[in-house]
């Protein structure tokens, strides 16, 4: 369970988060929609402890991480994971080393026990199979396509089975088929891990496919949260625009 209260963040003279409030429940996929630059990614970076807010609190499973010191935050986010927009694979490591990285550093996510190399190898193999990247173990990130990188990033995330998963625009820049594969993987991962997933996206089709609840992020705040059906019926200019553009319109030929 994630509880965010009155979150404020300012970069220079620009207030990105303005007293944002949000709850994400256990075993749900919460999708945050919003225009570019409203601070959706900034919100995820706060939840996973990369950024510190100017004001407000983030409580994760009863622990207020915004009150913690830097080293305590690292401990608190051990059972969380994030898929970055650009995948953020370590470019000095191959796909196998990238995927095994967390397990080699921390051991098992729940028990913290060091895992034997054979077990790590097996878990990596399973994770790569789950995202359809068998046989790419020895490839370097620079040898992968955009979609493959996203899937390798997802394998790196799901291999240690975190309780909280954050996805920063997982389908942006992908073709519709790969995007749908990623959507299905997000749902499959959620069904398996039964944790809390927060997905930030612009992609309405993707949002409607994966979301248990949808949230609208506008002007530094969450202005609406609802289940997909109720969300699409809300009377709000942005949602109205989304509703109207759900089916792509053909432009008039001259």
Residue from the set 45, 123, 151, 217 that interacts with other proteins by CB under 8 A: 45
- Cα 212 to the center of its chain, rounded Å: 14
Q: Is 35 in the site for other proteins (CB under 8 A)?
A: no
- Where are the alpha helices (H) located in the chain, listed in sequence order? 40-47, 70-76, 95-106, 117-130, 146-158, 176-193, 204-210, 228-233, 237-244
Q: Is 52 in the site for other proteins (CB under 8 A)?
A: no
Q: Is 43 in the site for other proteins (CB under 8 A)?
A: no
Q: Is 102 in the site for other proteins (CB under 8 A)?
A: yes
**Part of the chain binding other proteins (CB under 8 A), chosen from 8-16, 26-34, 66-74, 232-240:** 66-74
How many residues of this chain bind other proteins (CB under 8 A)?
Answer: 25
Q: Is 70 in the site for other proteins (CB under 8 A)?
A: yes
Whether 7 and 52 have beta carbons less than 8 Å apart is answered as: no
Q: Which two tokens stand for residue 35?
A: 């225009």
Q: Is 111 in the site for other proteins (CB under 8 A)?
A: no
Q: Is 75 in the site for other proteins (CB under 8 A)?
A: yes
Strands (E), 25-75: 29-33, 55-60, 63-64
Residue 23: beta bridge partners?
A: 3
Closer CB to other proteins, residue 91 or residue 191?
Answer: 91
- Cα 122 to the center of its chain, rounded Å: 25
Q: Is 11 in the site for other proteins (CB under 8 A)?
A: no
Whether 209 and 181 have beta carbons less than 8 Å apart is answered as: no
Measured from the Cβ of residue 8, the count of other Cβ atoms closer than 10 Å reads: 15
Q: Is 173 in the site for other proteins (CB under 8 A)?
A: no
Q: Is 9 in the site for other proteins (CB under 8 A)?
A: no
Q: Is 74 in the site for other proteins (CB under 8 A)?
A: yes
**Part of the chain binding other proteins (CB under 8 A), chosen from 16-24, 44-52, 171-179, 232-240:** 44-52
Structural Rg of the chain based on CA atoms: 19
Q: Which two tokens stand for residue 200?
A: 């930030």
Question: CB of residue 141 vs other proteins: minimum separation in angstroms?
Answer: 10
Residue from the set 55, 91, 126, 184 that interacts with other proteins by CB under 8 A: 91
Q: Which two tokens stand for residue 117?
A: 């190399």
Whether 106 and 162 have beta carbons less than 8 Å apart is answered as: no
Relative orientation angle of helices 176-193 and 146-158, to the nearest 10 degrees: 0
Q: Is 105 in the site for other proteins (CB under 8 A)?
A: yes
Q: Is 54 in the site for other proteins (CB under 8 A)?
A: no
Closer CB to other proteins, residue 63 or residue 88?
Answer: 88
Residue from the set 3, 5, 52, 106 that interacts with other proteins by CB under 8 A: 106
Q: Is 81 in the site for other proteins (CB under 8 A)?
A: yes
Nearest Cα residue to 171 out of 188, 159, 154, 156: 154
Contact residues for other proteins, defined by CB under 8 A:
45, 48-50, 70-71, 74-75, 77-78, 80-82, 84-86, 88-91, 101-102, 105-106, 166
């Amino acid at each position: 369970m994630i509880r965010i209260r009155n979150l404020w963040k300012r970069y220079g003279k620009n207030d990105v988060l303005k007293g944002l409030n949000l709850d994400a429940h256990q075993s749900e996929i919460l999708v945050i929609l919003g225009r570019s630059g409203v601070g959706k990614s900034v919100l995820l970076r706060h939840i996973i402890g990369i950024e510190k807010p100017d004001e407000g609190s983030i409580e994760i499973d009863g622990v207020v991480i915004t009150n913690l010191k830097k080293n305590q935050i690292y401990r608190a986010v051990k059972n969380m994971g994030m898929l970055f927009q650009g995948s953020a694979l370590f470019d000095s490591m191959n796909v196998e080393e990238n995927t095994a990285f967390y397990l080699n550093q921390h051991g098992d996510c729940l028990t913290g026990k060091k895992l034997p190399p054979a077990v790590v190898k097996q878990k990596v193999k399973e994770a790569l199979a789950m995202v359809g990247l068998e046989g790419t173990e020895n490839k370097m990130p620079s040898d992968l396509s955009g979609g493959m990188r996203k899937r390798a990033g997802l394998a790196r995330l799901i291999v240690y089975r975190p309780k909280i998963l954050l996805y920063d625009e997982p389908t942006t820049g992908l073709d519709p088929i790969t995007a749908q594969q990623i959507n299905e993987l997000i749902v499959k991962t959620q069904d398996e891990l039964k944790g809390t997933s927060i997905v930030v996206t612009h992609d309405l089709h993707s949002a409607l496919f994966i979301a248990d609840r949808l949230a609208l992020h506008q002007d530094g705040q969450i202005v609406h949260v609802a289940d997909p059906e109720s969300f699409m019926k809300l009377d709000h200019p942005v949602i109205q625009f989304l509703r109207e553009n759900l089916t792509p319109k053909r432009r008039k030929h001259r």
